[in-house]
């Protein structure tokens, strides 16, 4: 008989509502495949018709795996990340995130999922300008209900790890681009997410600073056992990940060394 299960094995039992059963550092979450996406499709309206940006994207990211996502501008990389983050919904396809069918979760559960298990890093840092670096890093912990003491300890250790000892009390506009992006990385990793999504995290940095920041991100994600999907236009950056994939004509394919964006 044909095996119709989308990923060969059934997902682990679902535990709803997430609010009651999901703790911020749920050990079960760490052992589940972070991303199992099959046939993801996304259309956007274009005049009287629509444009298909993602046309059946399949992607699996294993626990602790780092994957670089390459593709020309407009190929749909940010669209894909937004689907994986639950910020946007696919028009078709299956998206099992840490064992849970994200495409079928209610808005509230998707928000909780994002808050507890995902870290997101943007090209433009997106730090909150009215909070200090340390407060920015501590924000996800506060939202997840950490105590003040535990938050302070965690923030201090992350800032030290990312070579930001002096930066904790500074507001973002007093930090260099590389420093701001390291604060953004610390913020994305603070709550020990199982999956980190980074959308061109080095796009606003010079190549030397960008390379350094990406090394830190990869090293820190590896040490923390986090899976990482990082969008980049740099082949040098992409080569540092465990694996490369390329988005082209709405489909995802395995990347090779001949690619350059």
Ligand X SMILES: Nc1ncnc2c1ncn2[C@@H]1O[C@H](COP(=O)(O)OP(=O)(O)OP(=O)(O)O)[C@@H](O)[C@H]1O
Residues of the shown chain interacting with Mg ion in the complex, contacts defined by CB under 5 A: 77-78
Query: Which is closer to ligand X, CB of 70 or CB of 164?
Result: 70
Q: Are 81 and 199 a contacting pair, CB within 8 Å?
A: yes
Query: Which is closer to ligand X, CB of 33 or CB of 234?
Result: 234
Q: Which partner from the list Mg ion, ligand X, none does 234 bind, CB cut-off 5 to 8 Å by kind?
A: none
Q: How far is the CB of 251 from Mg ion (least distance, A)?
A: 17
Query: Which is closer to ligand X, CB of 79 or CB of 132?
Result: 79
Q: How far is the CB of 210 from Mg ion (least distance, A)?
A: 16
Q: How far is the CB of 111 from ligand X (least distance, A)?
A: 20
Q: Taking CB positions, which residue lies at the least distance from Mg ion?
A: 78
Q: How far is the CB of 41 from ligand X (least distance, A)?
A: 13
Token look-up 């056992």 returns: 225
Binding residues (CB under 6 A) for ligand X: these are 44, 53, 71, 73-79
Alpha-helical runs (H) found in the chain: 18-21, 27-31, 77-84, 107-117, 133-143, 148-161, 177-189, 207-223, 235-238
Q: What angle do CA 245, 200, 255 make, to 5 degrees?
A: 15
Q: How far is the CB of 49 from ligand X (least distance, A)?
A: 12
3 state SS for 62-120: CCCCEEEEECCCCCCHHHHHHHHCCCCCCCEEEEEECCEEHHHCCHHHHHHHHHHHEEE
Query: Which is closer to ligand X, CB of 71 or CB of 138?
Result: 71
- Which of 101, 94, 90 has its CA nearest to residue 52? 90
Query: Which is closer to Mg ion, CB of 136 or CB of 232?
Result: 232
Rounded-to-integer distance, Cα 109 and Cα 123, Å: 26
Instruction: Centre a 10 Å sphere on the Cβ of residue 222 and count the other Cβ atoms it contains.
Output: 14
Q: Which partner from the list Mg ion, ligand X, none does 75 bind, CB cut-off 5 to 8 Å by kind?
A: ligand X
Decide: residue 24, CB within 10 A, 0-12 exposed, 13-18 middle, 19+ buried.
Answer: middle
Q: How far is the CB of 45 from ligand X (least distance, A)?
A: 6
Q: Which partner from the list ligand X, Mg ion, none does 232 bind, CB cut-off 5 to 8 Å by kind?
A: none
Q: Which partner from the list Mg ion, ligand X, none does 74 bind, CB cut-off 5 to 8 Å by kind?
A: ligand X
Query: Which is closer to ligand X, CB of 16 or CB of 44?
Result: 44
- Strand, coil or helix: what is 246? strand
């Amino acid at each position: 008989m044909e095996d119709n299960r989308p990923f060969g094995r059934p997902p682990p039992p679902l535990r709803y509502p997430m609010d009651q059963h999901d703790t911020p550092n749920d050990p079960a979450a760490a052992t589940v495949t972070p991303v199992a996406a099959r046939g993801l499709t996304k259309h956007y309206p274009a005049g009287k018709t629509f444009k298909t940006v993602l046309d059946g994207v399949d992607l699996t990211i294993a626990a602790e795996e780092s994957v670089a996502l390459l593709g020309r501008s407009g190929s749909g990389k940010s669209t894909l990340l937004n689907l994986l983050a639950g910020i946007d919904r696919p028009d078709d396809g299956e998206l099992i995130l840490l064992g849970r069918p994200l495409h079928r979760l209610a808005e509230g559960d998707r928000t909780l999922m994002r808050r507890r298990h995902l870290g997101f890093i943007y090209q433009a840092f997106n730090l909150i300008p009215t909070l200090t670096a340390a407060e920015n890093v501590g924000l996800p912990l506060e939202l997840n209900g950490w105590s003040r003491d535990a938050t302070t300890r965690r923030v201090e250790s992350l800032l030290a790890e990312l070579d930001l000892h002096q930066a904790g009390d500074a507001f973002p506009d007093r930090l260099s681009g590389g420093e701001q992006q390291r604060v953004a990385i610390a913020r994305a990793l603070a709550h020990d997410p199982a999956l980190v999504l980074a959308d061109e995290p080095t796009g606003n940095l010079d190549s030397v600073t960008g390379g350094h920041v990406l090394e830190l991100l990869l090293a820190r994600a590896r040490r923390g056992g986090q899976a990482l999907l990082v969008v980049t236009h740099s082949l040098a950056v992409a080569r540092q990940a465990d694996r490369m994939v390329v988005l082209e004509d709405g489909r995802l394919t395995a990347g090779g060394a001949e690619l350059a964006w």
